[in-house]
Amino acid sequence: MKKRRDTDIFSLSFLDIITCGFGAIILLLVITKTGIPTTSIEADPDTTDTGLIRDLQKQLFEIRGQTNVLNRDMTNTKEQLSEWKQRIARLKQEKNSRENKIRSLQDNSSVQSSITDQFETAKQSLTKEMQRLLAKLKNADTDLVGGIPVDSEYIIFIVDTSGSMVQVNWNKMIKQLTTTLDVYPDVKGLQIMSDMGSYLFSQYRGKWIPDTPGRRRAMISNLRRWNTFSNSSPVEGITRAISTFYDPNKKISIYVFGDEFTGKSISDVVKAIDRLNPKDSKGNTKIRIHGVGFPIPANAPEHFQITSQRYATLMREVGQKNGGTFIGLN
């Protein structure tokens, strides 16, 4: 009798059916997952990356532009620094040269004035107000101003700011100016200019400085540190002062403090001042011009001696023609 194989055949067929079923289920799952839309869940990565790259590029361009500007500024600064270093070197060299010159001039302890002049007393009628002021000066010491009459109501100081004055006579000049101010206890207006016509107080350019104790102190204080260009000639300062402040109704005095005249012609200067400061029918000028000469060391180079003598000649002539006095200090 033959053995039956029903069980073996049934088992293989069952496994085939189960395997096909699982394969169909897996295929359905794959098809279903692939068909789900993802646009509504995630952002497009291409779009996001493009925007970020664009922002980074923009920032990069800005940084490069700022870098170029900074490099250009740094280059300009280096060039300016180089120029300033060269200028400082030149100034140091000039300073050393002048210091050596000063030491050589001051070796001789006995400093003498190469200019001797006799003082002249100017004449001008006094106003009632100035007569009242003069009554207060009975005990005042006016020797240092050489007897110059204090009959003016407005005072202008013209100060030589050249190297020879600043290095040798500056303290003497400040003392002389202070003494002159003390002789005028109360005036209507003051002004102080360099020999080139520059103003000590720029805010009072072309105007009178009010005469107050505070203003007088400020004048002396600012004078101690005043540094302005000078060509060692008082001509520009005198002519500018007359042209700016001349007033036939005001009594004005100009005091010129200096030590040199480097101009070409003394007579041309005198004629120019005569035109600017005309005389009245009585032969008097409305602006008095006084000159104060400061000493040049006796052992100074010859050209300083010559320009110093020319200054004395000029101011003596200007003083005589304009109701003033020239004083040569020791």
pLDDT tens digits for range 132-169: 555 554 444 444 445 566 778 999 999 999 999 999 99
Residues 206 and 61 both lie in one domain:
no
Write the single-letter amino acid at 156.
I
Answer whether residue 32 is part of any domain: no
Number of domains in the chain: 2
Write the single-letter amino acid at 125.
S
Give me the pLDDT at residue 45, please.
55
For the residues 179-203, what does the mean pLDDT come to?
94
For the residues 37-47, what does the mean pLDDT come to?
51
Closest CA to 291 of 267, 249, 261, 248: 261
For the residues 76-81, what does the mean pLDDT come to?
81
259 φ, ψ (degrees, to nearest 5): -140, -5
Give the residue numbers spanning the domain of 97: 50-107
Residues 247 and 99 both lie in one domain:
no
CATH of the domain at 176: 3.40.50.410
Answer whether residue 134 is part of any domain: yes
* pLDDT exceeds 50 at position 124: no
Give me the pLDDT at residue 283, please.
86
Least confident of 65-69, 74-78, 130-134, 318-322: 130-134
Residues 304 and 210 both lie in one domain:
yes
For the residues 102-121, what does the mean pLDDT come to?
47
Q: How confident is the model at residue 86 (pLDDT cuts 50, 70, 90)?
A: confident
Residues 96 and 215 both lie in one domain:
no
Q: What is the pLDDT of residues 268-308, one digit of tens each?
A: 999 999 999 999 888 889 899 999 999 988 888 888 999 99
CA distance linking residue 193 with residue 219, whole number of Å:
11
Least confident of 39-53, 203-217, 219-233: 39-53
Answer whether residue 10 is part of any domain: no
Residues 100 and 178 both lie in one domain:
no
